[in-house]
Amino acid sequence: MASLRAIQKLGLKIPKDIALLSFDDFELLEFSAPPITAVAQPLEKIAENIMKILLNRLDNQKGDHESYEVILPTVLNIRDSTTVK
C-alpha cells in the first residue's frame, strides 16, 4: 500500500510509467485500478510447516535444533500492473 501511495504522490501511472508486482497476493490487489500483478503464497502450507517444525522442536527439548529448508510452490497472478500498453 505504501508503494501505491508513493506512486500516486509522484504522479506516476501504472503500468504506463512504472510496472508493479507484489509478493503476497491479497484480494485488494485484484480490485485496485489497475489490478496489481502478485505472487500468491500457499499460506495454509506455510502454517502447516511452521506447526510441524515447532512441534518437532518441542518434542526434542535436548537443545540441538536442526535446520529446515521448506520449498513451497507459488503462483504468479499476472494482472494489468505489469502490462505496458
Domain range for residue 9?
Answer: 2-82
Task: Tell me how many domains the chain contains.
Answer: 1
Q: Which three cell numbers stand for residue 59?
A: 518434542
Query: What is the tens place of the pLDDT at every residue in 65-82?
Result: 678 899 999 999 999 998
54: Cα separation from own chain's centroid: 23
Residue 34: Cβ-neighbour burial (10 angstroms; 0-12, 13-18, 19+): middle
Query: What is the tens place of the pLDDT at every residue in 1-52?
Result: 888 899 999 999 999 999 999 998 988 888 888 999 999 999 999 999 999 9
